[in-house]
Amino acid sequence: MAAPRLSVVIPVYNEEAVLPALFARLYPALDALGASYEVIFINDGSVDRSAALLRGQFEIRPDATRVILFNGNFGQHLAIMAGFEASRGERVVTLDADLQNPPEEIAKLLAKMDEGYDYVGSVRLERQDTAFRRGASRLMNAVRERITRIRMTDQGCMLRAYSRDIVAAINSCREVNTFIPALAYTFAQRPTEIEVAHEERAAGESKYSLYGLVRLNFDLVTAFSVMPLQLFSLSGIAIALLSVTFVIVLAVRRLVVGPEAEGVFTLFGIAFFLIGVTLFGIGLLGEYVGRIYEQVRQRPRYLVQAVLERKDAVSEPPKQRQIVTG
């Protein structure tokens, strides 16, 4: 049996509220494409009824559904990685479970791929998120534009289509902390973007806390650029030069004008500023070192508890499948 034309990869973390609506819209939208497809759900250690709902859907559509159950919460991007490794389609589309990007838009992505693009990103029209999220995204998009070579308008939008070649390249990466759309972009030969509709989360709430978002954006920055480190050493040099000048000025002043006690607070101000810069630098180093540490430990990136798939209905993937990798 031939591999399906399309694999749809969906990470699921505590989405019991939205899964029924997702199933009801996703499968008809995919059936309407008129091509063979598989939907791969990755349950990222949900603690609600998500796993049971996925199992139920697997029983309803075993021909087109595969479910990977993680035995813990490993994060959205590693869940997508697992989906990529299991995927067999010539094209792979990622989608969030929360219906913020309508599944009906998948057809548009595929049409764009037909034009010869190997990576089709997406830009959210009238993004339906809080003003804070929109502002923070704008800021991060601007930072990423400046410090990496990755060019995309809306990095946060996960509704994207990738060619088999790009997915294979991603599968050969051993990164622990990563950001799939950016990683894929670095392998793309002909990337493009289209605009897609964006809706409010159909049900449930965002799985990212403020802290989670900060971590995710640090992953995005540190995984694709060492510019922050370089900036830091450059500003370190600048500040060191300034301090030397300052010390010389103080020494000359001491000789010419005599000792002073008044300027003490200015001095404190400058010292605190320097301490602040130093602490920030140490923290930044720590971010990189921490990621290096996670990488060299070579622990499995994620652990699979079970995989639900109908063996007789699915053809074997081209290469040997690795579910758990270090």
Residue 281 in 3-state DSSP?
A: helix
75 binds ligand UDP (CB under 6 A): yes
Which stretch, 69-77, 267-275, 276-284, 317-325, contacts ligand UDP (CB under 6 A)? 69-77
94 binds Mg ion (CB under 5 A): no
100 binds ligand UDP (CB under 6 A): yes
Smaller CB distance to ligand UDP: residue 14 or 163? 14
Among the listed residues 44, 90, 98, 118, the single contact to Mg ion using CB under 5 A: 98
73 binds ligand UDP (CB under 6 A): yes
Tally of CB atoms within 10 A around 69: 21
Among the listed residues 66, 207, 291, 301, the single contact to ligand UDP using CB under 6 A: 207
Smaller CB distance to Mg ion: residue 203 or 227? 203
Residue 191 in 3-state DSSP?
A: strand
154 binds Mg ion (CB under 5 A): no
| Euclidean distance between CA atoms 201 and 191, whole angstroms | 27
Tokens of 111: 């049409």
61's enclosing H/E stretch is none
DSSP state of 103: G
Residue 304 in 3-state DSSP?
A: strand
Smaller CB distance to ligand UDP: residue 167 or 180? 180
181 binds ligand UDP (CB under 6 A): no
65's enclosing H/E stretch is strand 65-70
Tokens of 212: 């989670």
By CB under 6 A, what part of segment 8-27 binds ligand UDP? 11-13, 15
